[in-house]
Amino acid sequence: MGLENERREYRHGRLDRESLRDHPVAQLRHWLDQAIASGLVADPTAMCVATVDAAGRPWQRMVLLKQLDDRGLVFYTNLGSRKARDIAANPRVSLHFPWNAMDRQAIVGGTARRLGAADVLKYFISRPRESQLAAWSSRQSSRVNSRQALEAQFMQMRDKYRHGEVPLPDFWGGFRVEPDEFEFWQGGEHRLHDRFQYLRRVDGGWEIARLAP
């Protein structure tokens, strides 16, 4: 069977204006809580971060959402990574939550800003020790000769910091995406999907509109 014949109907549910929260962060939190509680989504906090570099070339990758409030959405990364370099050139990003098992998507557009050192340190010390060591072991997005070389670097870091706490690397940090646009997508039968867009108004409030599928 060819790819053109791969399809199914979306029957998980409907989305209407009356059921939406007035604030998009509250709506995103509601859907996130449902994705976590459902047990259907393997990584409910996973989101795709889309960036554009200085030459206008887009790129995407998955990260984990680590904080969500009215100020925005937070994720952490190596500051030498491709995503961090792209953000330095163009801080406008898009985030995408692919909750396919629930026939849902949530998309966020906004501006990414570096977190302060205190926030980064607070999160870093909460990570499992192995994750802290991995941050030291990987110069993210740089080329490596082999898997064995990466594992050897991890073992070296484990030996180096065998005693005491693992310090925060100076090349590791985080970003808060300050949103100005949200879209919530619920798959519908016959491709009549429900889509709602939130756009930030100049007064700081949010305009809500239904979009054609």
| Residue 93 pLDDT | 98
Q: Are residues 37 and 100 in the same domain?
A: yes
Q: What is the pLDDT of residues 54-97, one digit of tens each?
A: 999 999 999 999 999 999 999 999 999 999 999 999 999 999 99
Give the number of domains in the chain. 2
| Between residues 76 and 140, the one the model is more confident about | 76
Is the pLDDT at 141 greater than 90? The verdict is no
Residue 19 lies in a domain: yes
Residue 1 lies in a domain: no
Given pLDDT bands bounded at 50, 70 and 90, which one contains residue 10? confident
The range of the structural domain enclosing residue 186 comes to 12-125+171-211
Q: In the predicted model, what is the mean pLDDT of the chain?
A: 95
Q: Are residues 115 and 196 in the same domain?
A: yes
Q: Are residues 120 and 151 in the same domain?
A: no
What's the whole-model pTM score? 0.92
103: left (phi over 0), alpha (psi -120 to 50) or beta: left
Closest among 170, 171, 179 to 74, alpha carbons compared: 179
Q: Are residues 32 and 116 in the same domain?
A: yes
Q: Are residues 21 and 74 in the same domain?
A: yes
Given pLDDT bands bounded at 50, 70 and 90, which one contains residue 1? low
CATH of the domain at 84: 2.30.110.10
Is the pLDDT at 139 greater than 90? The verdict is no
* Residue 12 burial by Cβ neighbours in a 10 Å radius (0-12, 13-18, 19+): middle
* Residue 8 is among the residues annotated as catalytic for this protein: no
Q: What is the pLDDT of residues 160-188, one digit of tens each?
A: 999 999 999 999 999 999 999 999 999 99
Catalytic member of 11, 14, 71, 191: 191
